[in-house]
Structure 1
Amino acid sequence: MDFKKSIRFLTVKIVGQYINLLHLVHPKKALQLSYALFTNPRTGKISHNKLPEILKDTIKETFHHNEHHFQTYTWTGNDTKILLVHGWESNSARWEKTLPYLQKSGSTIIAIDAPAHGQSSGEEFNVPRYAEFINKAVKKYNPSIIIGHSIGGSACIYHQYLHPETSIEKMVILGAPSDLKTLLDNYIQMLSLNRKMFHLLEKRYLENFNFKLEDFSGGTFAKHIKIDGIIAHDKSDTVVAFQEGQKIANGWKKSHFITTNDLGHSMHDDKLYQEIYQFLFEAKE
């Protein structure tokens, strides 16, 4: 395992040095490569003829949005609907361990594949496009509950900020990053890219999405959220720092922040799921 980590570390650093050298002679190509590495998932795609077992016995729908399409999977139940939003380099099958807890409520459960993940189209993932997919699914299914993991949680928060008047009444966010600038900083440090590359990437985001990196913050968006929610984050999360969850919780006044230990980034845990179930369903009874 240590040998594999060493090889991966060296590979990452070599790629970073290549981008730094490429920037000296072809800055546009260096930008294209660094942006692609940051936004193009390496894993998470699935084909319709090789569906994970958990997704086979579902109602499948494909939605078209501009030049893209995205996939949803529905486990039918009662009139209470829950929308599940997965994270980076994953797909709707990641909810396999979560489903039994939610299905105890009898709810109808819908999972969505992110841009460039699962059976959804594209090569590039970004939160604004994911939020557009979420909004289309919300309009179609009218869920009262939305649950997001990792950057899927960030997309849920951004969606709620953009579209506060929807059917959604409660939201659960698991291990989500807050600040895009922090993600990009970590990426720059991981590859040891020079600061010029950071400024080029920052400019690319401004041109593509019309926002500055420092303005794209879950903690800032959360200040506008009026619905009740849970934010859960693990202290030993090595993928998304614990402080990112705290930033979101500090902004979202109607949220309850749950700290977990030794769950890592996946956040699969009986006790946590029981707390979530209680928040979502038992308060009604």
Structure 2
Amino acid sequence: MSSKIYFKKQGGVNVRRKLINVASRIHHKLAPNHAKAFAKKLLLTPVRPKRQVEEPAGLKREPVLTSEGQIMTYRLGSGPTWVLGHGWSGSSSQFFPLMEHIANAGYTALAFDNPAHGESEGRFGHLPAFVSALDQVLEKEPAIEGVIAHSMGGAMVLESRNPCLQNKPVLLVAPVLDYVDNLVTTVESSGFSMKLFQEVIDEIADSYQYSLDSIDPLKRLTSGHAKTVIVHDRGDRFASFATSEQASEMPHVTLIATEGLGHGRILKSEQLRQGFDLLKEAS
């Protein structure tokens, strides 16, 4: 969801949160259709980073036509393919350092911008659209070696039922394994009308036949058996490290914990490269 709904508390009372709650409920009561359109824009519009990132030499761009619009893909290297998926308000450029490492190891790194992110088309973004785009990108590949995902991208990968992911190694970076709790808590803490939020969620569920109640990345990880490595920072403010610790109790999951890297800088870390090397050697 948009970073606009995150607000800092001032002292012991969050006045802004209360004002947002009152304003959004009144808006919904007086102009329900307009309020719903506003809610979709607020909750489903990611931030598209404007900073320019230096591209690795040899990077190849290719748009893929999907039901979510044109999805931009980025390919680097040769050999068996590892697919990379970013999180909310992210883009494939966050993976460029890791993609170089993968290519240098003798593999192809294939990343893609999710709907409404990076250079892909789309006005709104949400998990069902993420999963849909991933599945359609995968359909273009004859085979894959493994998959890597950051943040909400981890929920996307675990929620996918695509057969080509079956028993493939998974590298999760700062994953949001408690996706539904994280989403609901974030909206509640903003003060936004939960009734209006639910209407937006219900519309997505009807359109994609994908209910919020059915989403449970941690359960998907628990029921899977593919070798999985999680790289997660203990001080992550956006994704629960404790939930990753819980997941690491499973025999097929290995946790690499970091310190001081947060939710974003971890994508450039040596520990992330080590996580990939661990999976590469096991495959």
TM-score (norm 1): 0.81
Matched, 1:85 2:74: no
Instruction: Provide the rounded CA distance (Å) in 1 between the counterparts of 2:252 and 2:138.
Output: 21
Alignment CA distance shift 1:192-1:101 (3 Å): same
Matched, 1:96 2:101: no
User: Which secondary structure does the structure 2 equivalent of 1:90 belong to?
Assistant: coil
Aligned to 1:33: 38
1:1-285 aligned at under 5 Å gives the runs 15-44=20-49, 52-54=53-55, 57-66=58-67, 68-77=69-78, 79-141=79-141, 142-159=143-160, 162-166=161-165, 169-246=168-245, 248-249=247-248, 253-266=251-264, 267-268=266-267, 270-283=269-282
| Total equivalences in the alignment | 272
Deviation at 1:202, TM superposition (A): 4.4
Instruction: Provide the rounded CA distance (Å) in 1 between the counterparts of 2:254 and 2:209.
Output: 32
Q: Which ranges of structure 1 fall in alignment gaps of 5 or more residues?
A: none
8 Å CA contact 1:180–1:213 kept in 2: the answer is no
Instruction: Provide the rounded CA distance (Å) in 1 between the counterparts of 2:32 and 2:235.
Output: 37
Instruction: Provide the rounded CA distance (Å) in 2 between the counterparts of 1:13 and 1:121.
Output: 35
Cα displacement string for residues 1-56 of structure 1 (whole angstroms, at most 9, x for unaligned residues)? xxxx8699987775554322202212333233223322111224x7xxx9642167
Deviation at 1:208, TM superposition (A): 3.1
CA RMSD of aligned residues (A): 3.0
8 Å CA contact 1:58–1:73 kept in 2: the answer is yes
Q: Which ranges of structure 2 fall in alignment gaps of 5 or more residues?
A: 1-6
Give the percent of matched residue pairs that are identical in Structure 1 and Structure 2. Answer: 19
Alignment CA distance shift 1:135-1:247 (3 Å): farther
Deviation at 1:188, TM superposition (A): 2.1
Alignment CA distance shift 1:196-1:273 (3 Å): closer
Which one-letter code corresponds to 1:240 in the other structure? A
Instruction: Provide the rounded CA distance (Å) in 2 between the counterparts of 1:12 and 1:176.
Output: 27
8 Å CA contact 1:170–1:228 kept in 2: the answer is yes
Q: Which moved further from structure 2: 218-227 or 88-97?
A: 218-227
Deviation at 1:268, TM superposition (A): 3.3
8 Å CA contact 2:174–2:263 kept in 1: the answer is yes
Which one-letter code corresponds to 1:259 in the other structure? A
Deviation at 1:108, TM superposition (A): 1.4
Deviation at 1:269, TM superposition (A): 5.5
Instruction: Provide the rounded CA distance (Å) in 2 between the counterparts of 1:147 and 1:198.
Output: 30
TM-score (norm 2): 0.82
Instruction: Provide the rounded CA distance (Å) in 2 between the counterparts of 1:180 and 1:283.
Output: 28
Deviation at 1:223, TM superposition (A): 3.0
Deviation at 1:247, TM superposition (A): 5.6
